[in-house]
Structure 1
């Protein structure tokens, strides 16, 4: 294959994956795929997620020898840059190109089947060309594929106590996608349906030594359903039980980590537990004041100063510095108050979850409905339409 043919194959693959048309995208693809890999994938795939083929069907469609398709597909799947699942309809193993993010980036970075040198090369490229690399993880849009989920405590039932009067009565209920425990228990109804993998963002930070002060646990990003089976099959992650999952979430909340999932009504494929220092999503929101990169929860915290212990734990644990403690003149602290900057507050509930005096509840102030499914979420993000 000539250099020109290889470059053309990379450009075709870049368009299929819907990557930005810049040099960084091509450089990333050259880390993930050989020119021959790019040519094989670009010969039959037209889009991410939707095109799904067995090895036999792909060979027939592209006229590529089945032995070459099999070797390429299995090798790329092991590298985390091609995805597969077992179809429940016909029991066949089908391959697809996963979305760029979440998807390809994570499966590659945390994948110990790939040499540390190759993974570090990608991470270095990501950090060196930060502005262009941002295009790999986000698209300017009124709709985000990511959504914050409130912490485990206070429980969803107690959230019903405080509802903004401006909301319609039928909008005041706590729905399943707003309840992290329900998401976990729904996923746990099926055996071997939950897996844990290392956090991609903290793995990147450790590789680059960019946030040495971050002490957050790493082995705590959760994947459900088909992705769970894929990561375990390829040795990228391990299965865990519902009880283990709940313990991971509790540990994450104590460490000040935010629960982030996909912005869909059901069938959430993952829950990340994110720190604001390493997370590509949270840190981008802070650094560039880009709040549309994720959907906030429907809640804000309310403080009961009568039972507040004045420990200021809520101030310290807030990932976006949205909470301020204002001291009054009286020594008994009866004039002290807590102020929340609602424009910055993401409604993660970490303040409430970690309050030793149970002085914080969550008030529902909006009702932003997610997409019905992940494909709809990606479509809304790419078209820039929130409705």
Structure 2
């Protein structure tokens, strides 16, 4: 009789909607960092990641007393490798889900955090790009918000669209700044993983991380989230301007509800788990915004700042053939562009404008399976 492999049993349950956990030796090593033998034995009695399990259910399945179950689950809860809602427990996919909470909390040993970081970074480069990462109209998790001063500096009115709908609240980061007075920044888990792996990001440090607006900002402080710090409105504005100057993308959950109005990531194209892996196969990891950059070739000096800043490598310099150089221009690979506005906000020549080219409306509440992204982080 073959021995029961509880790590494999649990791996198969780490699936939520379109998110899966591939069978791979490095994922197995990751699971062994997250859970010891006693913990994985109990977790093998959990349902899949879309199912919340009561103590009574776990007692009936495992044969363990309730007090022992609670004791075994205490450490995984503390580290963020499982979730709890009320009195019920559940599993989460390895990313997003465990990834964010595990590194946000950083309550494991430094040795384990570093080992997990190296494995995750390897997965970003070797495994995730080979998954079915292509974004389509049926499902996507993130879409970029336009830069803070987009309305004043880079939006060009498109007469094909009603003026009132040129920039809607769920399309710009400015809505968060106007709506709230208190904000917080926490460590970027993706760039933290890069730093722990010995391959730090050259665009921005991990401290220039995710942005939270409103009451949830204090929750980050109270919860001891790694790197959490409060910002007032002026500080928040300066912080956002600096992220944009660095070339970071404001990636928000693709919905028009509270998820996109209180939280977004500041993503680089070289380490972000959303942008980087699909880009290796020339695909977009985020849904396109409703905007696309347009160049005024007369104003453009071909300095290549836009090309260097673009997180998607969606811009290239077309050198001239004509003797008068009139055919020289910066060219956009539209299939790679996510419409983030990084190119436009960093153009000192003011040669790039963001023009509304589509009017895709996000759902009221985006879910991954039966959970929202915010619920997966709690």
TM range, smaller chain: 0.7 to 0.9
TM-score for both structures, normalised by structure 2: 0.77
1:14 to 4, 11, 22: 11
Structure 1 residue 121 corresponds to structure 2 residue 118: no
Matches of 1:173 and 1:116 in 2, distance apart? Answer: 48
Any stretches of 5+ residues in structure 1 without a counterpart?
86-91, 381-387
Question: Is residue 351–residue 360 contact of structure 1 (8 Å, CA) maintained in 2?
Answer: yes
Q: Which residue of 2 aligns with 1:145?
A: 141
Q: Give the secondary structure class of the aligned counterpart of 1:319.
A: coil
Structure 1 residue 365 corresponds to structure 2 residue 361: no
Matches of 1:278 and 1:47 in 2, distance apart? Answer: 26
Distance 1:154 1:317, change over 3 A: same
Any stretches of 5+ residues in structure 2 without a counterpart?
372-378
Q: Shift of residue 161 of structure 1?
A: 0.9
Q: Which residue of 2 aligns with 1:245?
A: 236
Matches of 1:264 and 1:279 in 2, distance apart? Answer: 20
Q: Which residue of 1 aligns with 2:343?
A: 351
Question: Is residue 110–residue 203 contact of structure 1 (8 Å, CA) maintained in 2?
Answer: no
Q: Give the secondary structure class of the aligned counterpart of 2:199.
A: coil
Q: Shift of residue 162 of structure 1?
A: 2.6
Q: Give the secondary structure class of the aligned counterpart of 1:271.
A: strand
Matches of 1:140 and 1:303 in 2, distance apart? Answer: 27
Structure 1 residue 79 corresponds to structure 2 residue 79: yes
Q: Which residue of 2 aligns with 1:40?
A: 42
- Decide which moves more: 359-368 or 150-159: 150-159
Distance 1:39 1:232, change over 3 A: farther
Q: Give the secondary structure class of the aligned counterpart of 2:354.
A: strand
Tell me the alpha carbon deviations over residues 34-59 of structure 1, each in whole angstroms, 9 at most, x when there is no partner: 232233334344434x62x7xxxx33
2:251 to 260, 264, 273: 260
Q: Shift of residue 227 of structure 1?
A: 9.5
Distance 1:360 1:170, change over 3 A: closer
Question: Is residue 294–residue 354 contact of structure 2 (8 Å, CA) maintained in 1?
Answer: yes
Distance 1:153 1:312, change over 3 A: farther
Matches of 2:220 and 2:9 in 1, distance apart? Answer: 26
Q: Which residue of 2 aligns with 1:4?
A: 3
After superposition, the CA RMSD in angstroms is 3.8
Question: Is residue 120–residue 193 contact of structure 2 (8 Å, CA) maintained in 1?
Answer: no
Matches of 1:38 and 1:299 in 2, distance apart? Answer: 46
Matches of 1:151 and 1:140 in 2, distance apart? Answer: 25
Distance 1:309 1:141, change over 3 A: closer
1:283 to 272, 276, 279: 276
Matches of 1:176 and 1:111 in 2, distance apart? Answer: 31
Question: Is residue 38–residue 72 contact of structure 2 (8 Å, CA) maintained in 1?
Answer: no
TM-score for both structures, normalised by structure 1: 0.76
Tell me the alpha carbon deviations over residues 132-164 of structure 1, each in whole angstroms, 9 at most, x when there is no partner: 63179865563221222222232279636135x
Q: Which residue of 2 aligns with 1:303?
A: 295
Q: Give the secondary structure class of the aligned counterpart of 2:338.
A: coil
Structure 1 residue 65 corresponds to structure 2 residue 65: yes
Q: Which residue of 1 aligns with 2:205?
A: 217
Matches of 2:205 and 2:362 in 1, distance apart? Answer: 29
Distance 1:235 1:341, change over 3 A: closer
Question: Is residue 293–residue 344 contact of structure 2 (8 Å, CA) maintained in 1?
Answer: yes
- Decide which moves more: 106-115 or 39-48: 39-48
Distance 1:215 1:346, change over 3 A: closer
Matches of 1:14 and 1:218 in 2, distance apart? Answer: 29
Q: Shift of residue 96 of structure 1?
A: 4.4
Tell me the alpha carbon deviations over residues 218-242 of structure 1, each in whole angstroms, 9 at most, x when there is no partner: 2122254769736741443425235
2:174 to 147, 163, 181: 181
Matches of 1:110 and 1:125 in 2, distance apart? Answer: 17
Q: Shift of residue 253 of structure 1?
A: 0.8
Tell me the alpha carbon deviations over residues 189-241 of structure 1, each in whole angstroms, 9 at most, x when there is no partner: 7x7xx5422222222222222356x1412212225476973674144342523
